[in-house]
Structure formats: structure tokens, C-alpha cells
Structure 1
């Protein structure tokens, strides 16, 4: 297997940062009914970003397609989290935006 490109490694790093931020956001606000949509987006980001990391690390032929979906999901999560004043939501939105950009580049 050939070494990972710097673009691939950056996407893996951005996905991992998104996973961490989404987990923290979710943990800080779990059970707050007004944030139900935020919770679902965070859960979805954790799942899909984890899949992206695995596929990118193994240099799967399917990683670019999964990254395209991940870019869309992370953008949606960022938009939802940005609606809340919580510093955890704002950090999640920032990491999701970065992940969406990296995944978009990988999907191209």
C-alpha cells in the first residue's frame, strides 16, 4: 500500500477533529429538547466521519463517494450547531465546516 497523500491525511485529521467536537457537543447538550435536531446531526457526523476515516486510511476506491456525502452532512451539522450560542456548538460548527471542506476536496 502506498503512503497516504497529504490531502488524504488532512481529511482524516479533519474528520477526527469533527468526531471529537460532535461528541463533546452531544455530551454537553444531551437531553435538551430544543437541540434534538443538533443531537441527531452530531450522531450522524460521528458515524459518517468515522466511516470516512476508515475508508480513507485503507485507501478504499469508495472513499471519494462517501466523502461527498460526509461533506453534505457536515455542512448541515455546522449550519444547525451554529444556531446555538453554546461554545461547544460553535466549536462543533467550526470543525464540521473544516471537515466538509476537506471531504468536498476528496470527493472532487
Structure 2
């Protein structure tokens, strides 16, 4: 079995970091009604970043397409989280932007 490239491993690591940050953000702000879009995007990020990391690790033929979608979802999540005055949201936004950058590189 071939080793995973450094670029691929970096994408996987960033995806799992985005999953963790999104879970923390979601847990911290779950009951806040003005953050419904934030909640939704954190859930979407958790789903797509988990899938993207798994497909990267498996060297799926669909890594490019999934990475592209993951990048978009992570950017949307980052933009939404950045609207709130919360350290947890700021960290989620930063982590999701980093994931989006790594996923865009994989999609190219």
C-alpha cells in the first residue's frame, strides 16, 4: 500500500481539526436560538469533513470532488461563526478556514 502524501495527510488532519472545532462550537452554543445557522453549518462541517478525511485516507477516486464540497462548507461555516463574539466561534472559524484551504489544494 502506498503511503499518504504530506499534502493528503495535512488535509486529513485539518478535516479532523474542523470536526473537533465544530463539535465544540455546537456544544457550547446548542441552546442559543440566534445561532441556528451556525448550528446547521457546524453539523454540515462535521459530516463533510469526516467523510472527506475518510475518503482521503482511502485514496478515493472522488477526493477532488469531496474536497471541493468540504472547502465550500467549511468556508460557509467559518463565515457564519465569525459573526459571533465568542472565542469558541472564532476558533471554529479559524480552523474551518484552514481546512477549506487544505481541501481546496486537494481539489485542484
The answer for unaligned runs of 5 or more in structure 2 is none
RMSD: 0.4
**Structure 2 counterpart of 1:85:** 85
Give the Å deviation of 1:44.
Answer: 0.2
TM-score calculated relative to the size of structure 2: 0.99
Distance 1:97 1:11 in 2: 12
What is the match of residue 66 of structure 1?
Answer: 66
Q: Which residue of 2 aligns with 1:8?
A: 8
**Using the alignment, how far apart are the partners of 1:99 and 1:14 within structure 2?**
5
Aligned partners of 1:21 and 1:107: how far apart in 2?
22
1:19 aligns with 2:26: no
Q: What is the CA distance between 1:64 and its match in structure 2? A: 1.1
- Take 1:57 and 1:87, find their aligned partners in 2: how far apart are those partners? 31
Match of 1:97 in 2: 97
Q: Which stretches in structure 1 are left out of the alignment for 5+ residues? A: none
Superposed displacement of residue 31, structure 1: 1.4
Shift of 1:91: 0.2
Hey, what's the Cα distance between the residues in 2 that align with 1:90 and 1:65?
A: 27
Q: In the alignment, which residue of structure 2 is the partner of 1:55?
A: 55
Distance across 2 between alignment mates of 1:31 and 1:57: 34
Which position in structure 1 is the counterpart of 2:107?
107
Q: Distance in 2 between matches of 1:73 and 1:54?
A: 17
Deviation at 1:63?
1.1
